[in-house]
Structure 1
Amino acid sequence: MRSSLSCDHCRKAKIKCVNEGTAPCQKCLKLGNSGCELSRPQARSAKKIAARAQRATPELTPRADHVSTVASTPDVTRQDPIRPPRPSPSLSRRTLSSWGQEPVDEHLARLPIGVVLKALNIFTAKFPELRILQPSAFVKEYQAGRSRESKVLLATILAITRKQSSICSGEWLHRLRSSDCYASYAWSVLSNLILLPPNVQVVQALLILTLYEWGVREFHKAWMHCGMAIRIMQSLHSSRISPHALDISQNNDLDELAVVVETRTYWACFIMDCTINSGTYNPRMLPMPEMQELKVPRPPNFFDFAFGSDGASLSQNFTANHSDPSGNLDLAQSFETIVLGFDIYAQAMAFVFNNGRCAPGMCAPENCPWVPGSLWSNCRNRLEEWRRSQHHRLHYPRHSVAVHMTLGHGESFIYLNMLYYLSTIMLHREYFPFLPTAESTPQGPIHPPLLEAEAPPGWWEDSAKELYGAAEQITCLLQEASECGIPLMTPFSGFCAFTACFLNLYIFRFPKMNLGRSPRAEELMNWGLEYLEEFQNAWELAGGWIKTIQNSSLLYKSATEDSRRFQGRSRADFETLHQSIHEYRIVDRSELHLQQIRRADRNSSRDNENDERLGREQAQVPMGMNPAGNPAFLDPFPNWWSMLQEVEFAEISSMMN
């Protein structure tokens, strides 16, 4: 992973320092350099760079009013090539062969149990959606024979744990190899295990590898791994419940711990299916009706998973409408609550990706969101019933992250609330204008297709309050988590941060769309950008999100400064940019974003001043905040960044002083 940390050897050699946030880097490791020490480069502060840029172009100096860091902080984003691209499969195989498969086997076998337990603890705490590893069962299996299955599962845990090195510390991390090394080893072993009789550890390893591949933008591989995990788990479950087993060699004599581990792993398959398919156009592979038809037991609670179940709770089947009307579901049932929350979230995302209000018939009077029985209303009711089923102590901001952090359940508390607020955003945002005017107030669609019925009085004002309030709460959740020392850096938390950051940008530029009820919008937007910058040090997934925020900022800033430039334009004119704000699986579409912005600019139809204006605006955005990460127009050297991947860019900055 490329980070801002670099060692003296790589800095002097002017080559990229590939490391996982701790010494030694890969270069020193290969050279046997025991004196590798990582440090951050000396660089000018954001304020100095911004001030220098303003002095150089006095005619573009902003007015005396406060300027957001979305247009003034140079280090919020960087062009992707500053970070090395994700290795290709062939490169991964070469990396594996350089280490040698046997040495990785031996490395895993020799790891002290203390290191294994530390990695297991970090993984379990930081990824509530994959709390599938029962410590007693895992350690017992690992120590008993160090089978291929247990070692490949450990490799996936270490691959994803190494990605958390920016928020975790300890000497034990020096014993670990790179994430790529563990991931490559895991896949090389799993390719042989997936066709053997079904094994729950193989399923667990595939699920963890799915999450890892999604975070490093290997989306197709993640989708395939998830599908494999689901099919193997279905086969395993069928062998348990079938009166006449197809494979008589399959061992069906399970102890209490094995039963709860398999049950929770099946539901983890369901969660991963919700996450990676709800943000795409792919259909879900494991819908809730199938889970019900196969009579998969309810997810075991905290205590059953820790100590085993007496069988009574596992005999209960889970339903999509299961809830506790008394509101007594607490963190002991957090995994079950998260399962249902992801199902509702996937339903909301399916509504958005099926074209939302623009889908045929969705603007008819009977399908308007305020009408009982409409698709939107049914999904919203499920969401609110799910919220009411939880104990009030689980509701944020009524109760703080700090309280739950002291109880050891901070991450689960954050996830439950992020699921609620993210689903709220996805439902409400669909009906708000993508490009309002500076004077616009809360209202429904202003461009075709328009709703064919009138909303009840106050509907849009209340909807706006919920929409922008949800964005504020997501940012505050993540902010409090960082302040409490339990920062979340998972692909899902990153998507939540991106979604909230976009809405905070939107309401910062168009404050009347929430009737002035979002005074902290700019502050929260800037914090969200800082979070995504830090997130990018762990997961490559953040690159596309950051550029989408930048390009949206350019559009909204231009629209508010001169309303005539985009007068009458709708989201149809910015189709690619609008699509990007919904994507969990995001790619960099900056060129298309900027092409559509230029095309929609009415000034460009009269003269060529738009080209010069966009050029000046991008020059006004310091280095780190270039909306495209490269010039918006045809560049005689379009690929010059790729030629400098070996250069330490902080040194270039210092040389130009």
Structure 2
Amino acid sequence: MVRTTIACAWCRRSKIKCIHQGEPPCRNCLRNGRTSQGDCILSGPNIHAIRRKRYRTPTLSHKPTTVDTTHEEGDIGADNTTCASNAVSAIDPDGRVINTLRNTSRTDVLQAASKFHQTFPELSFLHLATFDVDSQETSSLLLKAAMMALCSTHQDETARYVKTALSGLFLEPPKLVTIQTLLLLAMYEWGDGRGYDAWMTTGVAIRMMQSLETMRGPTRPSELEQEIYNRTFWSCFIMDRLVLCGKGQPFTLPLDQMRIHLPIGDQDFAFGQSSNPRIYIGNIHGDMYNTIEYSYSILVRGFDIWARILKWIINGGRRQPGMTLLANCPWTPGSPWKDLYDELDDWRQHQHQRMKYPGVQIAGHVSLGHGEQFAFINLVYYISILFLSREYIPFLPKPESIPVGPVDPPLLESAAPEGWWVERADQLFNSSAQITNLLQELDDLNTSLLTPFSGFCAFSAAIMNAYVSSFPRMNYGKCIHFSTKLLEVNIQWLSRFKEIWKMGNGWFKTTLHARNLYIKASRDHQRFQGKTRADFEALEASIHDSSGVSPIHEDDTRMAEVESHEREIDTSHAAEAALGLQQLSHSHNIPEQSLQPLEDMYFPHEISIFNQWNQVWPLWGEQQFGPLASGGFNLDYNIDIPGL
């Protein structure tokens, strides 16, 4: 059940909570027999007043004079604040949320701003020295509200308030602060498991940014204003790649068409004045631009490479037409895989030696206050290597298999150079180990990086640690016990992560499910003889998915009952992890019939839901709206899941 400010007229008149699932009838109307059409109509308070304000027809032009796009009296933007204020009061009629925001102490606001600045290096536009903590303007309040929602726990109501209030500004002239708020909201929605909403919200921010670019007036902004503007633009660029929906459409902001300089150094930004020449894509010279001082510039370039790797893979990867030809084999110069790998390697090689983990430990960077930036740069590199190397290994190898390239169609038409597959295996499993160790070291240093992107990295590492734990010969038998320990760390980390971000629930379930599949396949190969990726398309899609939504058409009421049951038995995530870890540490030494599946322990009432993994499901959470294809795949691995 969902409690929101959206309610039916009967519940509002009766001054009782209207409990519903997003569509009529609500629970109260259903209970009292008001189920005929028109009896229960859900709406927001004063919705007509909001619409009249929102859809008024603009008649005069606007004349922006600064980066923030102010307007002359009498034009379309003259009553922008008034219009927004009316919308805000309409969605918060009792003033509870807005009063809470206005009464939030300076200390709490600054702490949220500092946490956001430190924890989300991919959105590095906030200038703390000039951040207006005391502003009571609607746009500033919404930015602070989004920041509080993103950097605090249990802030769903504040996030809903921001989302609804922003909808009243979509047809107003763009402002930089509104774009920044949209980016924060998109990050929040991504972490909350609403990948589609995050993608759409990011799109609105980008369109506003592009519109703002065309509307900039003749007044020259200060150097600091220009850099805040630039960093907001690059934040749009990164979010465009982080919430990639997985379809074949081009990026909204293609890098090769950017005519805006890359971010200046972090210290220069902090003090509001650049001490070095500005740099542009394709014109990066000198090692100074590849140090931690230029971490945001490095991230911009790294995220672009990572997004193109992910896009190539989810659009078919090695199974795309023509990929089996010698000219497109991954070791052939000029092939899609090799071009991506070479670009990634070039990006990495140009970084200063102090930027490269594990050669340089993260403790030194943490002590200097930029541990998160250092971590992000290395996470981008290792997740990119992991995805590239994973594309050509068998989805479900035989227990005795060693790395020899694809074993299921389409097969490559040429043999790889000697040692090539050995190198790929070494890079693949080394990457999953480094991601795990890096996040663990941050935890040990009390600098935990529990954010959506780091969560996706941890999840991807967990899948490969589970894989090599069951098929150790895919890494030539190296460090099997070490891989199991790494998986234990991943399970613990994801268990904590899912308590903060809803997107972690899907990754957690997928990790447990994949791990059970690998164990079963490694012990009972005859049962899985002949099975290929084609037999596990739903599971493979979930492994590649960055939205975190489990590949299950979940019923909200059923899930609420499961969550209620979990609360009743007071099973903490730490205790859950301990149970799973105990099983993991002994999984290779106990009889198969005594091995209880992790799904039973973590989700004892969701077996029926887990059996729905045979549905075809797309990326970014579309499955929330129902299956988009008829039929399904017979996933033999989970038919008798209660007994494993």
- TM-score (normalizing by structure 2): 0.73
Question: 1:424 and 1:251, CA in 2 relative to 1: closer, same or farther beyond 3 A?
Answer: same
Question: 1:134 and 1:472, CA in 2 relative to 1: closer, same or farther beyond 3 A?
Answer: same
Structure 2 contact 195–245 (Cα < 8 Å) conserved: no
Structure 1 contact 327–389 (Cα < 8 Å) conserved: no
Describe the SS at the equivalent of 2:252. Answer: coil
1:443 is displaced (CA, Å) by 1.3
User: How far apart are the structure 1 equivalents of 2:418 and 2:311?
Assistant: 28
Q: Indicate the residue corresponding to 1:309 in structure 2.
A: 273
Q: Indicate the residue corresponding to 1:623 in structure 2.
A: 601
1:327 is displaced (CA, Å) by 7.4
User: How far apart are the structure 1 equivalents of 2:331 and 2:89?
Assistant: 56
- 1:375-407 per-residue CA deviation (whole Å, 9 max, x = no partner) reads 111111111111111110010001111111101
User: Structure 2: which amino acid aligns with 1:542?
Assistant: G
Q: Indicate the residue corresponding to 2:164 in structure 1.
A: 188
Q: In the alignment, is residue 277 of structure 1 matched against residue 244 of structure 2?
A: yes
Structure 2 contact 382–432 (Cα < 8 Å) conserved: yes
User: How far apart are the structure 2 equivalents of 1:483 and 1:85?
Assistant: 43
How many residue pairs match? The answer is 505
Structure 2 contact 462–487 (Cα < 8 Å) conserved: yes
Question: 1:627 and 1:422, CA in 2 relative to 1: closer, same or farther beyond 3 A?
Answer: farther
Q: How do 1:390-539 residues align onto structure 2 when only pairs under 5 Å count?
A: 390-519=351-480, 520-539=482-501
User: How far apart are the structure 2 equivalents of 1:536 and 1:237?
Assistant: 38
User: Structure 2: which amino acid aligns with 1:298?
Assistant: L
Structure 1 contact 544–588 (Cα < 8 Å) conserved: yes
Question: 1:625 and 1:469, CA in 2 relative to 1: closer, same or farther beyond 3 A?
Answer: farther
1:187 is displaced (CA, Å) by 1.8
Describe the SS at the equivalent of 1:565. Answer: helix
Structure 1 contact 554–627 (Cα < 8 Å) conserved: no
Q: Indicate the residue corresponding to 1:360 in structure 2.
A: 321
Q: Indicate the residue corresponding to 2:112 in structure 1.
A: 119
User: How far apart are the structure 1 equivalents of 2:469 and 2:98?
Assistant: 53
Q: In the alignment, is residue 337 of structure 1 matched against residue 298 of structure 2?
A: yes
User: Structure 2: which amino acid aligns with 1:271?
Assistant: I
User: How far apart are the structure 2 equivalents of 1:433 and 1:86?
Assistant: 42
Question: 1:515 and 1:539, CA in 2 relative to 1: closer, same or farther beyond 3 A?
Answer: same
User: Structure 1: which amino acid aligns with 2:265?
Assistant: N
User: Structure 2: which amino acid aligns with 1:255?
Assistant: S
Describe the SS at the equivalent of 1:277. Answer: coil
1:218 is displaced (CA, Å) by 2.0
User: How far apart are the structure 2 equivalents of 1:324 and 1:262?
Assistant: 24
Q: Indicate the residue corresponding to 2:102 in structure 1.
A: 109
- 1:27-72 per-residue CA deviation (whole Å, 9 max, x = no partner) reads xxxxxxxxxxxxxxxxxxxxxxxxxxxxxxxxxxxxxxxxxxxxxx
User: How far apart are the structure 2 equivalents of 1:131 and 1:620?
Assistant: 39
1:559 is displaced (CA, Å) by 1.2
- 1:284-338 per-residue CA deviation (whole Å, 9 max, x = no partner) reads 21121232xxx11221220222122359744x4333xx55564761111000000
Q: Indicate the residue corresponding to 1:205 in structure 2.
A: 181
Q: Indicate the residue corresponding to 1:572 in structure 2.
A: 534
Describe the SS at the equivalent of 2:359. Answer: coil
1:556 is displaced (CA, Å) by 1.3
1:282 is displaced (CA, Å) by 4.9
Question: 1:207 and 1:632, CA in 2 relative to 1: closer, same or farther beyond 3 A?
Answer: closer
Question: 1:283 and 1:329, CA in 2 relative to 1: closer, same or farther beyond 3 A?
Answer: same
Q: Indicate the residue corresponding to 1:225 in structure 2.
A: 201
User: Structure 2: which amino acid aligns with 1:228?
Assistant: V
Aligned with 1:155 (options 122, 145, 150): 145
1:619 is displaced (CA, Å) by 6.4
Describe the SS at the equivalent of 2:421. Answer: helix
User: How far apart are the structure 2 equivalents of 1:502 and 1:92?
Assistant: 43
* Deviates most, 184-193 or 425-434: 184-193
* Deviates most, 422-431 or 89-98: 89-98
Question: 1:325 and 1:620, CA in 2 relative to 1: closer, same or farther beyond 3 A?
Answer: closer
Describe the SS at the equivalent of 1:564. Answer: helix
1:93 is displaced (CA, Å) by 6.0
Question: 1:297 and 1:87, CA in 2 relative to 1: closer, same or farther beyond 3 A?
Answer: farther
Q: Indicate the residue corresponding to 2:264 in structure 1.
A: 300
Q: How do 1:17-96 residues align onto structure 2 when only pairs under 5 Å count?
A: none
Question: 1:327 and 1:425, CA in 2 relative to 1: closer, same or farther beyond 3 A?
Answer: farther
In the alignment, structure 2 segments of 5+ residues that lack a partner are 5-18, 25-40, 46-87, 555-590, 613-644
Q: Indicate the residue corresponding to 2:235 in structure 1.
A: 268
1:499 is displaced (CA, Å) by 0.2
Q: Indicate the residue corresponding to 1:318 in structure 2.
A: 281
* Deviates most, 302-311 or 506-515: 302-311
1:101 is displaced (CA, Å) by 6.1
Structure 2 contact 516–597 (Cα < 8 Å) conserved: no
User: How far apart are the structure 1 equivalents of 2:202 and 2:598?
Assistant: 44
In the alignment, structure 1 segments of 5+ residues that lack a partner are 3-15, 19-83, 164-177, 241-249, 593-612, 635-657
- 1:464-500 per-residue CA deviation (whole Å, 9 max, x = no partner) reads 0000100000000000010000001111000000000
1:626 is displaced (CA, Å) by 5.8
- 1:547-603 per-residue CA deviation (whole Å, 9 max, x = no partner) reads 1112212221111112101012111111111111111023222589xxxxxxxxxxx
Q: In the alignment, is residue 287 of structure 1 matched against residue 254 of structure 2?
A: yes
User: Structure 2: which amino acid aligns with 1:156?
Assistant: A
Structure 1 contact 134–306 (Cα < 8 Å) conserved: yes
Structure 2 contact 512–598 (Cα < 8 Å) conserved: no
Describe the SS at the equivalent of 2:507. Answer: helix
Question: 1:120 and 1:97, CA in 2 relative to 1: closer, same or farther beyond 3 A?
Answer: same
Q: Indicate the residue corresponding to 2:544 in structure 1.
A: 582
User: How far apart are the structure 2 equivalents of 1:627 and 1:476?
Assistant: 33
Q: Indicate the residue corresponding to 1:6 in structure 2.
A: none
Structure 1 contact 160–212 (Cα < 8 Å) conserved: yes
User: How far apart are the structure 2 equivalents of 1:251 and 1:152?
Assistant: 28
Aligned with 1:553 (options 515, 524, 532): 515
Percent identity between the aligned chains?
Answer: 38
Q: Indicate the residue corresponding to 1:175 in structure 2.
A: none
Describe the SS at the equivalent of 1:133. Answer: coil
Question: 1:278 and 1:324, CA in 2 relative to 1: closer, same or farther beyond 3 A?
Answer: farther
User: Structure 2: which amino acid aligns with 1:161?
Assistant: C
Question: 1:162 and 1:468, CA in 2 relative to 1: closer, same or farther beyond 3 A?
Answer: same
Greater RCO (CA < 8 Å, at least 6 residues apart): 1
1:257 is displaced (CA, Å) by 1.7
- 1:482-537 per-residue CA deviation (whole Å, 9 max, x = no partner) reads 00000011110000000000000000000000012233111111110111110011
User: How far apart are the structure 1 equivalents of 2:200 and 2:420?
Assistant: 43
CA-based RMSD of the aligned residues comes to: 3.3
Structure 1 contact 278–346 (Cα < 8 Å) conserved: no
User: How far apart are the structure 1 equivalents of 2:117 and 2:323?
Assistant: 41
Structure 1 contact 126–490 (Cα < 8 Å) conserved: yes
User: How far apart are the structure 2 equivalents of 1:415 and 1:627?
Assistant: 37
Q: Indicate the residue corresponding to 1:258 in structure 2.
A: 225
User: How far apart are the structure 2 equivalents of 1:494 and 1:620?
Assistant: 20
User: How far apart are the structure 1 equivalents of 2:491 and 2:89?
Assistant: 35
1:91 is displaced (CA, Å) by 9.6
User: How far apart are the structure 1 equivalents of 2:414 and 2:118?
Assistant: 47
1:624 is displaced (CA, Å) by 1.2
User: Structure 2: which amino acid aligns with 1:406?
Assistant: S
